[in-house]
Structure formats: C-alpha cells, structure tokens
Amino acid sequence: MPAYSASAPGKIILFGEHAVVYGQPAIAVPLSQVRARAYVTANRAGTVPAGKKASDPLSSVVVEAPDIGLRADLAGLPPDHPLAAAILAVFERLQVVQPPSCTVRVRSSIPRSSGMGSGAAVSVAIMRALSAYLGHPLPPEEISALAYEVEKIHHGTPSGIDNSVVTFGKAVYFVRGQPIQALKLLVPFHIVVGVTGIATPTGEMVAGVRRRWQADPAAYEALFDAVGQVARQARRLIEDSAPEALGPLMDHNQALLSQVGVSCPELDRLVDAARSSGALGAKLSGGGGGGAMIALVREQEAARVASALQAAGAVRVIQTMVGKRQK
C-alpha cells in the first residue's frame, strides 16, 4: 500500500474561550506556523514485535510519536489514549476489523496543552492520513465530527471549536451546536503569540470553570454573556475591516477571563509585557492556567513585542498574520 501523510495546523482563539462552552460565540483562527503531521506506512516484515498479543488484530498497527518517546503497538495502548482513540475512530467508521500491518507516525510542532489545539490537530492529521491510506479519505465534516468525539474523551465538555478550526483551516465564528460560520477577513492583522511553557490540560481548566459556575451560576452567566458581547463586537470590527480596533476588546476579554479565574501570574506577566511594549491589546488564548497568550500588534511593533515577551519569560514566541491565505 502506498504511504500517506497529512497535516493539520494549530489554532488560536481570538475571543470567547470558556464562554463558548456555555453557548456564547467565539472566534478562532488557524496558526499554520505550527502543525501536526501524521504518516502512515506499510510495515516491513519483522516491524511488529513478534509474539506480543499476536492474536489481537490491533497488534499489526504500530504507533510512533517520537516527540513524546512513544512506540507501541495499538493493542498495547489503552483505547482512550489520544492517539489510539483517533486511530480506532477511523477503523470503526470504515468498519475495518483486521487492520493492515502499518505504522502510524505522528510529529507535531504545536506546543502541547498550551491552548493551541494540539490534541485536535494530531487527531485530524491521523484521521486524514489513515483514512486515505485505507482507500477511503474521509470528508472534512466527518473528520471534524470524529475529532470532536476524541476531544470529548479528554475534555469532557468541549465546545467543538478546536476540531472545527483545525479541520477546516480557516477563521471561524463558532457557536456550539451550530454549523461553523466562516469569518470574512478582508484586512489582515498581526498577532504575536507568547507561550508560557506551563502545560495545563484544557479539561482541568474547563472542569474548574464548571465547578465555579455551579457554585454561583448568576455571576458566571453574567461573565459569559459579557464575553459573548465582546466576541460579537469583534466579529463586526473584523468584518468591517477595522481589526486594529480589536485591541481594547482583547483587553476587556482578558479582564473577564481573569474574573472567570483562568488567567495566572505567568500569563498576566506576558499580557502586561505585550501591552507596555506597544501591543494594541492582549489576552490569554485557549484554556488558560498557563498555555499561551496573544497580542494584537501593528506590523512595525511586532518585533519589539516579541522581544518583550521573551524577556518576560515566554518559552516560545510566534508571529503570525491573520487573514493571510493559510497554506
């Protein structure tokens, strides 16, 4: 069988994280500077460790993720392991009972547990490459829906924004349970991403917000409503070709996220550093509690803001132009 490879980009949430889980709109864009890539190749004789659960049909599939030091056969991984779950979802969808002897290898440059859609991108890349390898490339709608099922195993109550934006690779205005709406991005704008280096599983952050919401629903719903307003205003500004005016909305969204309890000192430090070095606005992006933040900048200030983020402790800084045609 010929080898197949496929990829999916990372993503950043510009507005609306957490509130999106509760039905408010959010805006997210792909971040093509970082990507997950999956390769599926036929095994040569002797690749599969002999004798190990050889009777299990899943033992013919080798799973490799060198970035996390993983090499195992599929039968040896728990079915809810994120990589196994993505592979098994494809086998189930395509009714593959006896998988061919193959290796699924995954590489990713997307920082993990950092609010940049790493898990969803890995799932999508695997599903694309594996379904093509099996002769039935799945359409994007199905890939996104299957990746959502995998997200559920780890996040509990994902909104679906991550799988949508990384599958379709375009800017989205997203409302949970509704078809995704493409965002008309006529005027590109510059974003600098700062990664704290603190990996925080999104599921834990979402669960924490849920506990606090249950303890004080009125207060949290007011915060989520306010975030929704911000996302709606941001959409209007983007579609009215006034993205530079998004800065104050980012600052307001960050203040609301702090009240929701998902910022942290390291994120606050990067947000402050971005603002005081000339950013138009800044906020955390994704689950929070660590992970990444974003700053809106004028092109001429991008390098200064990037240096300030590094000086303030960012372990990685990525500059991107939103609205430029994504690869």
Can you give the binding site for ligand PMV, defined by CB under 6 A?
13, 17-18, 20-21, 115-117, 155, 158-159, 161-162, 202, 206, 286-287, 291
291: left (phi over 0), alpha (psi -120 to 50) or beta: left
Q: Judging by beta carbons within 10 Å of its beta carbon (0-12, 13-18, 19+), is residue 44 exposed, middle or buried?
A: exposed
Minimum CB separation of residue 232 from ligand PMV in Å reads: 16
Q: Judging by beta carbons within 10 Å of its beta carbon (0-12, 13-18, 19+), is residue 130 exposed, middle or buried?
A: buried
Select 113 or 131, whichever has its Cβ closest to ligand PMV.
113
Minimum CB separation of residue 39 from ligand PMV in Å reads: 24
What number of residues does the chain have? 327
Minimum CB separation of residue 174 from ligand PMV in Å reads: 8
Query: Which active-site residues does the annotation give?
Result: 162
Select 204 or 244, whichever has its Cβ closest to ligand PMV.
204
Minimum CB separation of residue 233 from ligand PMV in Å reads: 18
Dihedral Cα 36, 42, 44, 46, nearest 10 deg = 80
Single-letter residue type at 134 = L
Minimum CB separation of residue 13 from ligand PMV in Å reads: 6
User: Going along the chain, which residue ranges are E strands?
Assistant: 4-15, 26-42, 61-65, 70-73, 102-108, 172-174, 181-182, 189-195, 281-285, 292-297, 316-322
Strand partners for 107? 37
Select 21 or 106, whichever has its Cβ closest to ligand PMV.
21
Select 60 or 285, whichever has its Cβ closest to ligand PMV.
285
Select 207 or 237, whichever has its Cβ closest to ligand PMV.
207
User: Is residue 279 within 8 Å of 312, Cβ to Cβ?
Assistant: no
